[in-house]
Amino acid sequence: MAIVQTELYLIRHGIATERGTYENDGDRPLTAKGIQRTEAMVKRLWQLGLQFDAVLTSPLVRAQQTADILVRVGLAANVETFGALKPGGQLTDWLAWLDWWQGHRAQGRVALIGHEPDLSDWGQRLVTGEGGDRWVLKKAGVIGLMLPAAEVALGQSELFWLSSPRLLLGQGLTFG
């Protein structure tokens, strides 16, 4: 029996227009700064050699735009809209998708594009088995996890990356 492992990247959408500027919050797009910062972050991921076998995104406009940037830069061939990634979505729904996906692959790299506080909560639950608000994922930030088989992923996954775009891009870092 093959060992199933999935490299999971939780990616928060970029900077969007202010709340209240659109009647429907789901229609809020990325700002020009949000597009610029997200493109820079995605290009850095490309420089690091990342490519995704699957990208799932929230149906909200700002997440869809973030996913489109991943495709445009070459990190993914296509994107699938996944309802559980909208605010308040359930991790168990995504774990059911993961179980299906892992049934077709022994390993691979998946990106989920969504919102706070859900992505941080999902990451914490996958690593510790408990949710909460200890982790904070900045806009266009990344959490990287190594997941075992879907049925044992909760509390059994390994954190290998938690980064804001500023750190990923090497902005404002000083040592010594």
pLDDT tens-digit series, residues 54-65: 999 999 999 999
> What local confidence, expressed as pLDDT, does residue 175 receive?
41
Confidence of residue 24 (pLDDT cuts 50, 70, 90): confident
pLDDT tens-digit series, residues 103-162: 988 789 999 999 999 999 999 999 999 988 889 999 999 999 999 999 999 999 999 999
Structure tokens, 67: 């996913």
Q: What is the pTM of this model?
A: 0.92
> What local confidence, expressed as pLDDT, does residue 1 receive?
46
CA distance 22 to 4: 43
Spans of all domains in the chain: 5-168
Level-2 CATH architecture, domain 5-168: 3-Layer(aba) Sandwich (3.40)
